[in-house]
Amino acid sequence: MNPQNTSGKFSLPVVPLSFLALIVVCALLFWWLRPDDGRGERSDPRGPVGIGRFEPFRTAGGFLHTNGIIKTEELRKDDGSWRGTTSSGIRLDATYRYDIELRSKWNFYIDDTRKTALIVAPLYKPELPVAVDSRTVQEWTSSGWGRFDKWDQLQALRQEISPFLAAKARSKAYMDLARGDARKTVEEFASDWLLKTNRLAQKAPYLVKVYFTDEPDIPFPENKTIKDFLP
């Protein structure tokens, strides 16, 4: 006779620890690789928090827009450790614009002997913040096996866009690149203004020469110095 189990107890199957670990790993991977909303942070179902800004402003006296530069710029950040490397990058098209404040002091000297009008103009300056075409923005980010900060790094990199572009706009390389076109625009503006105010004869073949206040090689007329032309 075979013995019968009369205890009535039901035993649960033993689940291997390796199977549980696999489930946990899969859950973590799903959370980490899930699609982002494009801002590096989860969207708030309540919408934007706080009151937005609406601040009208004006430019006293106006500006003379001289020229601009459109250039593709790229920001990148890499942070490495024993847990791997987190890397993020942003690529975009920036539009740099340069202006001269019309209320600044303009100086000119008309040399009738040499048929030359010498203009010493205020230095052009970048218009800030630099404009960005949102249609050209590309972003990417990745992280090492033991790092979970790629979206935070990307968000921090976004905060650096405006300061980065402002430094580029003020740099000597970009200012020198803009100098030629800025000078040409000021020459056209000064020629039209001098003619309209009858400072130059309508048909006189005067040559208009423009210099900026930061240029050391201005050919000053006789008995004139830099103090006579600086704003």
Q: What is the greatest pairwise CA distance in the chain?
A: 136
Burial of 90 (0-12, 13-18, 19+ CB in 10 A): buried
The two tokens of residue 44 are 């708030």
DSSP structure string for 18-40: HHHHHHHHHHHHHHHHSPP-SSS
Amino acid identity of residue 45, one-letter, is P
pLDDT confidence of residue 100: 96
CA atoms of 98 and 127, how far apart (whole Å): 6
Q: What is the pLDDT along the chain (231 residues), one digit of tens a residue?
A: 555 555 555 554 555 767 667 777 776 666 566 555 444 444 555 566 678 888 998 888 899 999 999 999 999 999 888 888 899 999 999 999 999 999 888 888 887 777 788 888 999 999 999 999 999 999 999 988 888 888 999 999 999 999 999 999 999 999 999 999 999 999 999 888 877 776 666 656 778 889 998 987 776 666 666 565 554
Put the strands of the sheet holding 207-212 in their side by side order.
107-111, 116-121, 207-212
pTM: 0.73
pLDDT confidence of residue 40: 45
pLDDT confidence of residue 231: 47
End-to-end Cα separation, the chain, in angstroms = 118
Q: Is the dihedral of CA 26, 31, 33, 35 positive or negative?
A: positive
pLDDT confidence of residue 108: 82
Map residue 74 onto helix, strand or coil.
strand
Are 92 and 182 in contact, with CB atoms under 8 Å apart?
no
Q: For residue 227, give the DSSP letter.
A: G
Residues forming beta bridges with residue 63, ordered by sequence position: 101
Chain-centroid distance, C-alpha 106: 30
